[in-house]
Amino acid sequence: MKNIVLASDNKNKITQIKEILPDCNILTLSDVGFEEEIVEDGNSFLENALIKASAVREFLNNKGINYPVLAEDSGLCVNALDGAPGIYSARYAGGHGNNKACREKLLKNLKGKADRSAYYYAITVLMDYDGTYTVGEGKVDGIILEKEGKENNFGYDPIFYSTELKKRFSECSPKQRNSVSHRSRALKQLFHLDKKCDLNK
């Protein structure tokens, strides 16, 4: 089992990635002592993922640690809003991570719109110690419902209806969600996986 440093301390994201890659030893930023603030000022999901991966790679190199870095950037894109909130999904309502406020703003901006189609999108980057990297991407289509459902306070899941699973993401079990999620598809493309991660092959 090979160590991978995940460029995140988001508990929900960490849990999902560990579920998707059960055979990888995922280390978080806290595990390696990374405490710097990363400014995600890129103009795309890929740019933001690379910013995170590069910052953590430089930190690890300075400590003499040659573990690869896994970085991810993702968000919700709503067609009637020209792809918004997109890369600003986590801070759509202003402050970073206020999920309920972001959902409320989205529902307000969609009021009266006939087209409520949307999709979750994710980019994953695996960067080696020398800066070389590979990329995976994933997408899952859905519809933004008019009212919130079961509260799990993770992103836009309580208002995102998966057209594949025929239910809100907040109503899905982890296994159901990971079977179609944008994050799961991006990781599986990145590692060329069906069900498991084996970086030693």
Annotated domain spans of the chain: 3-191
Phi, psi (rounded to 5 degrees) for 127:
-110, 130
At residue 179, the pLDDT reads 92
Q: What is the pLDDT of residue 197?
A: 41
Q: Which fold has domain 3-191?
A: Maf protein (3.90.950)
The two three-digit tokens of residue 26, written as one number: 């995922």
Q: Is 41 a catalytic residue?
A: no
| pTM tops 0.85 | yes
Q: What is the pLDDT of residue 11?
A: 87
Joined tokens for residue 68: 């690869």
**Which is the catalytic residue, given 9, 73, 115, 157?**
73
pLDDT of residue 200: 38
SS3 content of the chain, % helix, strand, coil (to 5): 40, 25, 40
Helices 11-20, 182-191: axis angle to 10 degrees equals 50
Which residues in the chain show pLDDT less than 50? 195-201
Predicted pLDDT of residue 167: 94
**Cβ-Cβ contacts under 8 Å for 55 (sequence gap 6 or more):** 7, 36, 38
* Non-local CB neighbours of 188 within 8 Å, separated by 6+ positions: 20, 136, 138, 194
Q: pLDDT at position 28, please?
A: 95
pLDDT at 89 (0 to 100): 95
The pLDDT value recorded for residue 38 is 92
